Structure 1
Amino acid sequence: MPFRKYKSNTAFLDLLFNCLLGIAVLFFISFILVNPFQKQADIKTKAEFVVTVTWPKDNQDDVDTWLEDPAGNVCFFRQKEIGLMHLDRDDRGSVNDVIQLPDGSFILFPHNQELLTIRGIIGGEFTLNIHMYSKRSQDGTPVDITIDKLNPRLQRIFARTIQLTEQWQEETVTRFTLAGDGELLSLDNLYKPIVKTEVANVRRP
């Protein structure tokens, strides 16, 4: 008696399912790899200008960055976020350069740098000053200051080096004027003190 032969699609369906599963896994991995770069780009677009203040590494001096916006708001170590300005870190020279890890070991970060970002655009004049809060070294301290415009492309609009030699010395780095669309209209360094005496004389914790 002849036997009937039944045709089955099970093998074909299994193969198709495995192919689809493989494609889904590859897509998921690609999404994980690409997504962090997208987030980094999103973060960068939230700042319009970056002010960088740097002085020699291993130097013990405490240099402060002060920025006054057109509305009269002043961003500095006691007021790290105000208006559209944000001071990323109050670098105090050699103080707090050593970090202890949970295992008891230490990490040394000898670089001296402060970053201040302007997250949006306000038309008018900004005043950028640096202030020698604590002079611990014997020689003069060269301080490098740059201002970078981030959008629509990275552009350095200002760079200068100033020598600080004395305790409490305050220097106007630049006074720069922006248009409402962020275009740089003018630069000058006419001295304008903005360090408040009553604030500068308060000892840090």
Structure 2
Amino acid sequence: MIRRTGGYTTDPFVDLLFNALLGFTLLFFVSLVYFNPEARQGKVNLKAEYIISVTWPESRTDDIDLWVRDPLGEIVSYLKKDAGWLHLDRDDQGAVNDTVVIEGREVVYPINQELVTLRGLIDGEYTVNLYYYEKRDLEPIEALVKIERINPSVQTVFVKRVVLSKSDEERTIVRFTPTRDGSIINVNERQVRLTPYLLEPET
């Protein structure tokens, strides 16, 4: 039914829609008042459980490779950057790939580091190896291996320094079993070969 008010013709349905629009607008502005963007700052949404890293001195151009095997036998390395829940985020080749192009300019990124991400957990033992792919200096090199738990917060659960002396040297740095509470157990250094380069039996 259409009624006249003050010389204007109005429809009750139009009035209802207008009032509903006003209500939604009011709710929108109220939500803006209570929305606090500062509370969301600093939240890191990393889709990872652990990050395994190896770093070596910036002054060295040597190439050290990180190899990681999961409990199912999947192995991640520069040869296969995705294997199951494992992912090689950075394959550092010493000085070879230390230059990046930013806005048309070449910028040197001298940090020597390789990263492997565990995006999910499988019950069982993980193995972390280092392989000295190419030695470009006469002196031995010291590398730092770290395992950091990411969820629910960042916590370093393993750190070790290791010295590598010659090209093609492979070393098992750690074998460990992650637990659901974030700790690692059954930590050992029992040597096992993960690379396909040598054919001698495993020890």
Please indicate the TM-score interval, normalised by the length of the shorter structure: 0.7 to 0.9
Equivalences, count: 173
Output the CA distance in 2 between the equivalents of 1:98 and 1:36. 34
- Residue in 2 that maps onto 1:178: 178
Deviations 1:155-195 (A, max 9, x none): 21110011111000000000102346654221000111111
Q: How does 1:102-181 map to 2 (within 5 A)?
A: 103=104, 105-179=105-179
1:61 counterpart residue number: 62
- Tell me the residue number matched to 2:74: 73
Q: 2:176 and 2:135 mapped to 1: Cα distance?
A: 28
Question: Gaps (5+ residues) in structure 2?
Answer: 1-21, 199-203
**CA distance, structure 1, for counterparts of residue 182 and residue 41 of structure 2:** 26
Runs of 4+ with deviation above 6 angstroms: none
Gaps of at least 5 residues in structure 1 are 1-16, 199-205
CA-based RMSD of the aligned residues comes to 2.8
- Give the drift of 1:102: 5.0
Q: How high is the sequence identity, in percent, across the aligned residues?
A: 33
Q: Give 1:74 deviation, angstroms.
A: 0.2
TM-score (norm 2): 0.75
Asked whether the equivalents of residues 157 and 183 of structure 2 are also in contact (C-alpha less than 8 Å), the reply is: no
- The residue number in structure 2 matching 1:11 is none
Which residue of 1 is the match for residue 16 of structure 2? none
Partner SS state of residue 124, structure 1: coil
Counterpart in the other structure of 2:98: 97
Cα displacement (A) at 1:58 = 3.0
The AA in structure 2 aligned to 1:125 is: E
